[in-house]
Amino acid sequence: MTHTKNSSNCIGIVGLGLIGGSLALDLQALGFKVHGLVHRATTATKAKERGLAQVISTDPKILSDCDLIILALPLDQLLKPSQSLLKALPPSAVITDVGSVKAPVLKTWTKLHQRFVASHPMAGNANSGVGAGQIELFKHRPWVATPDTNTDTEALKKVQDLALALSSEWITAEAEMHDQAVALISHLPVLISAALLKTLCNERNPSLLELAKKLASTGFADTTRVGGGNPTLGTGMMENNSSAILRALSSYRWSLEQFEEAMISQHWSQIQAELEKTQTLRPEFLNDKL
């Protein structure tokens, strides 16, 4: 795979939501020809209006000339792909995905296509749908691949070249380790954020709730962003990575209980020490990512 302008490579993207649409915009800017496959005719019309790809259709046959195909689908559709999609995938093409859970996807697709590479670009925001795509969404963001012993090395290199062309940070990991890591830094925050929003909704004092809405600012926006995201994606994360998320949730609950007990006991020095520790730890996870 080359990254020069005027490249003749044809890249297929299945699904033109936030991730697929953003990929389509960036790849076109790099000079690639992009074919976008969508589910509904109305979506195709909107995608054409935005110029998300040179060719946009609901017919899987548009993938026949693509040598790299990106499956930007919800997890349920990745794990149970349609027969029409499977029949349209060229045997020689490299197939990759963008799903946030890797072990079940890798297990499924290793049996479906000999040149499949499980991958996960770590980028996103609270927007969804065909209007959500934006340029440079993946710039300086991690792009994780989870190859196993069956993964075609040339196919893996092609996906790596794609990630690097988009200025992403290339990382490889075992699928199970990836799923445990994203449970901690991605999936658990969705639950925590959603629980905070639910707590507000359960407030029975309407005057207090109204004041809270007026006072909510950037801190609240940052804390609740992922909890206000795409419900379908969130549900797919929980369903397909439940054991890792439950493990992370148990640890989080314990940490929260420690703060609660310290407050009840008025151990303010303990809280001070814990907050100083978390202040020191945070930059280790966010350096060069903000």
pLDDT band at 10 (very low <50, low <70, confident <90, very high): very high
Q: Which amino acid is at 194?
A: A
Report the C-alpha gap between 64 and 83 in whole angstroms: 15
Please give, one letter per residue, the 3-state secondary structure of the chain.
CCCCCCCCCEEEEECCCHHHHHHHHHHHHCCCEEEEECCCHHHHHHHHHHCCCCEEECCHHHHCCCCEEEECCCHHHHHCCCHHHHHHCCCCCEEEECCCCCHHHHHHHHCCCCCEECEEECCCCCCCCCCCCCCCCCCCCEEEECCCCCCCHHHHHHHHHHHHHCCCEEEECCHHHHHHHHHHHHHHHHHHHHHHHHHHHCCCCHHHHHHHHHHCCHHHHHHHCHHHCCHHHHHHHHHHCHHHHHHHHHHHHHHHHHHHHHHHCCCHHHHHHHHHHHHHHHHHHHCCCC
Nearest residue to 178 via CA among 240, 116, 100: 100
Residue with tokens 């299945």: 14
Reading the block at residue 228, the tokens are 């206000």
Domain residue spans of the chain: 10-173, 177-286
**Both tokens of residue 159?**
């996906």
Note the pLDDT of residue 124. 79
- Distance (Å, rounded) from C-alpha 229 to C-alpha 170? 25
Q: What would the mean pLDDT of 212-226 be, rounded to a whole number?
A: 91
Which two structure tokens, joined as six digits, stand for 74? 């919800």
pLDDT-wise least confident of 92-101, 120-129, 236-245, 266-275: 120-129
pLDDT reading at 132 higher than 50:
yes
Cβ-contact 72, 20 below 8 angstroms: yes
Domains 10-173 and 177-286 share a fold: no
CA 123 centroid distance within chain: 6
Specify the CATH number for 10-173; select among 3.30.499.10, 3.40.50.720, 3.10.20.30, 3.40.640.10.
Answer: 3.40.50.720
For 183-208, the pLDDT digits (tens) are 999 999 999 999 999 999 999 999 99
Give the C-alpha distances (Å, rounded to integers) separating 188 from 58, 76, 226, 244, 253. Answer: 35, 19, 10, 9, 11
pLDDT exceeds 60 at position 220: yes
Average pLDDT, the chain: 93
Confidence at residue 287, expressed as pLDDT on a 0 to 100 scale? 64
Q: Do residues 52 and 133 make contact, with C-beta atoms less than 8 angstroms apart?
A: yes
| pLDDT for position 288 | 58
Residue 37 · residue 60 · CB < 8 Å: yes
Q: Is 40 exposed, middle or buried (0-12, 13-18, 19+ CB in 10 A)?
A: exposed
177-286: CATH class = mainly alpha
Q: Which one is predicted more confidently, 233 or 70?
A: 70
* Tens digits of residue pLDDT in 276-285: 999 999 998 8
The answer to whether residue 131 scores a pLDDT higher than 50 is yes
